[in-house]
Structures are given as structure tokens and as C-alpha cells.
Amino acid sequence: MSRPSFYARIAAGAAFVSRRRGLLLKLLMLAALAALISLPPRPLVTVGPQQTVSTINPKLGVHTRLTDEVEEWKIKRTLEMVRAMGAPWIVEYFPWAYVEPDRPGQGLWQHSDMVIQHASAQGLEVIARLGFAPQWARPKDTSPLYLDEEHYAAFGDYVYEFVRRYRDQVNYIIIWNEPNLSLEWGYRPVDPAGYTRMLQVAYTRAKEANPAVQVLGGALAPTLAPPGSEWGMDDLHYLQAMYDAGAAPYFDILAAHAYGGKFAPDEPAAPDAINFARIELLRAIMVANGDEAKPIMITEGGWNDHPRWTRAVRPGQRISYTLRAFQKALEEWPWVDVVALWAFRYPAPARTYQDYFTFVTPDFQTKAIYLETQRYAHGQEN
């Protein structure tokens, strides 16, 4: 075998160096690509600068429906529109089962964080509605609205964690929703004493986490259910039964639902009528039980303008009743702190009469009720 010539060896060496340089270049490019990929993505939606709500009525509020809203820009847009309407208060639902779906202390807070950060940035005061039991906290084949007393402590832990986590941002929490309806009490006979025990556990744990947090109890559905009804209990009877069970020390504010049905907000309250002024009867029960110092917050309510629903009013009536309701609370009900009406916007159309409770369509089209409320809140004459 003949030896390669000197020049051939030089050429082979140069080729080797060239191949290595090419390999090095490729490796460098790969490393740069890997570094680019591993960089955290730039956020598509930012919280933005701190805003404030401009309004002539500091009691004005809405119940938002962001629980099932996935996209952050939609959450932000919704809350921007609430602020722009002139409502400083929102009620929002933070289901326990969404945060701890599989086990206690699981802590999936991402969605709650997102909602509360954006609400705070828009200058909105959040009233957080807590409830909705995860599967692990209730028997098989029960609804998420079922919670037996054995698991009140677990619910109390969730309340504690929620209040602790948001102690600088959330000052109001509602414990459960409409417990005077069988449907909302896990399809069981309603139980004011049982709800009072739940309230006691939740209140105690909430105050442990943040003594300043205000706990709202009740959130009763206005209903004329007769005694012994399988569907529920008259809200007036239920509230008295709560007091009888010793609920007074375990809530700071009564949450009330005030739906007007077909009646104007000035329609007088009566025990056999469901109308907006029915909360005056709840107030009377509070006073009779020595609880007159506690305020009421309306955390659901309003009018519906569906063309076919039997309990709906005309769109123009809905506007005038709604504005009058805000003004009535401001002028005549010093014991009402908030009027948060149902519901600002749904993530998707319900395609039922429920769509006609909203102020804004799922695709953010403002309804006339939104524009008129905005005009009212900014002190503009109609």
C-alpha cells in the first residue's frame, strides 16, 4: 500500500477540520433552537394597568359567569366591559371541585388567579361564591351540590385556602347557593339547621385565614314553596329557621336574591308575592332577630325580557325596572350595600330564556340594557 503524498495528507486534514467546523456549526444552531424553544412563551394577554370604576351609584353590580370561560382575553374583556358600564361590584363563582377535583389540597388555582387578577386590575370588588363539592367529598352518584356533614370540615379547608390565598384581593365570600331549594341542596330535603352548621364551619375557617373577610350567608332563592314541599322552603321561613338554629354569629352580611318577575321594583313586598321588594321582608326578619346592624347584598336578581317566557317583561320595561332598582337601593335602602344583577354575560348562548337576563351577548355585543345602565351609571340623562 502506497503512502499518501504530503499534499494529499494536507488536503485530508483540511477536509476533516472543515467537516468538524460544519458539525460544530450545526450543534450551535441546534443549541440556539433548543434555547428558543425552552424560553417561556410571551403572554398573549396581560393584566394591564390599574383601572378605577367611574359611577354615580356605588352599589351597582353584576353577577359574572366566568367559571366556564376558558380564554383569558375573554375574561379580561368581560371585566373591562363591567368596569366600563360603571359597576364596581361583581359576584363570581369559584367552584371547589375545580380547584381540588381529585384530592384535598390539590390546588388548581390558575383559573381563579386569572379571574381575580383581572378583576382587581379593573378596579372591581369581587364577591366570591364558594360551593360545588368534588367527587371525593361526596357519595357516588350524588350531585356536586350535595355535601354531608362529615365533609363540612373539608369544605372549610377549601374556604380557608381560598380566603388565605386572596386575602389582599377578595374581601367578601358567599357560602353555598340557594340552600332552600332541594336542587341546590343535592336533591335532598332542605335543612336550615344543616346549612347553619355548614355556615359555622366555613365562617370559622374563613376568619382564621383572614379576620377581616366578610362572610355572606343565605343567598336564598325567592320561592313560595308551601310547607312540606319536596322542591324547597319559602325563603322567609328558611331565614327564620336559620336564626332559630343559631346562624346569627356565623354571617356578617345576608346575601339575597331579588328577582322582579313581571313586577316593577316599587311593587310592595308581600309574603305571597315574589318581587324585587321581597328583600324588605328578609330585612324585617333580620331586625326581628336583633340583626339590624347587618347589611344585605343582592347577589342575584333582575328582570328578563325573553319574548316567550311567562315571567318576562318587555325589553323597555326591563331597562326602566333595572335602573329604578339601582336607584331604589341607593335612595331608599341604606341597609343594602350591593345590587348585583344576574347575569352580565354567558360564555356561550344558553338558547333558553336565560339568555335574556344578560347585559352583553357571548360575542360581546352590548345590549340596550348595558348601554342604558352605562348611561345611568355615568350620570347621563335618558
Q: How many CB atoms lie within 10 A of CB 350?
A: 15
Q: How far apart are CA 135 and CA 143, in angstroms?
A: 9
Q: Is 366 in the site for another protein (CB under 8 A)?
A: yes
Contact in structure between 289 and 244 (CB atoms under 8 Å): no
CA angle 80, 82, 88 (to 5 degrees): 110
Q: Is 310 in the site for another protein (CB under 8 A)?
A: yes
Q: How far apart are CA 116 and CA 171, in angstroms?
A: 12
Q: Is 319 in the site for another protein (CB under 8 A)?
A: yes
C-alpha grid cell for residue 225? 314553596
Read off the DSSP letter of residue 307: S
Q: How far apart are CA 113 and CA 92, in angstroms?
A: 12
Which member of 318, 326, 336, 337 binds another protein (CB under 8 A)? 318
C-alpha grid cell for residue 210? 383572614
Which member of 314, 332, 378, 379 binds another protein (CB under 8 A)? 314
Contact in structure between 194 and 212 (CB atoms under 8 Å): no
Contact in structure between 208 and 244 (CB atoms under 8 Å): no
Least distance CB 157 / another protein (angstroms): 37
Least distance CB 365 / another protein (angstroms): 7
Q: How far apart are CA 193 and CA 178, in angstroms?
A: 14
Q: Toward another protein, which CB reaches closer, 208 or 266? A: 266
Q: Is 365 in the site for another protein (CB under 8 A)?
A: yes
Which member of 308, 331, 334, 363 binds another protein (CB under 8 A)? 308
Least distance CB 59 / another protein (angstroms): 22
Least distance CB 301 / another protein (angstroms): 18
Residues binding another protein: number (CB under 8 A): 21
Which member of 92, 191, 280, 372 binds another protein (CB under 8 A)? 372
Q: Which of residues 322-351 bind another protein (CB under 8 A)?
A: 348-349, 351
Q: How far apart are CA 310 and CA 291, in angstroms?
A: 36
Q: Is 316 in the site for another protein (CB under 8 A)?
A: yes
| Part in contact with another protein (CB under 8 A); list of ranges 80-88, 222-230, 236-244, 309-317 | 309-317
Task: Give the footprint of another protein on this chain (CB under 8 A).
Answer: 305, 308, 310, 314-319, 348-349, 351-353, 365-369, 371-372
